[in-house]
Amino acid sequence: MPDVDATSEKIVDPAPEIAVARCPVNHGAPPATAAEQAPARSRPDQFVRTVLRIPERPAGVSVQSAHTAFQRSMAISALRCSLTYLVFPFLIPIIGFTAGVGPALGVLIGAIAMGCDVFTVRRFFAVDHRWRWQFSIVVLVVMAFLSVLLVEDISQLI
Domain ranges of the chain: 60-158
pTM surpassing 0.85?
Answer: no
The pLDDT value given to residue 99? 57
Q: Bridge-partner residues for 10, per DSSP?
A: 5
Cα–Cα distance, 127 to 129 (Å, whole number): 5
The pLDDT averaged over each successive group of 10 residues in the chain (158 residues) is 54 54 52 54 89 78 78 80 75 63 80 86 85 90 90 86
Give pLDDT, residue 36.
47
Return the closest-CA partner of residue 145 out of 100, 110, 103: 110
Q: Are 121 and 136 in contact (CB under 8 A)?
A: yes
Q: Facing residues of 5 across strands?
A: 10
**10-12 and 3-5 strand pairing:** antiparallel
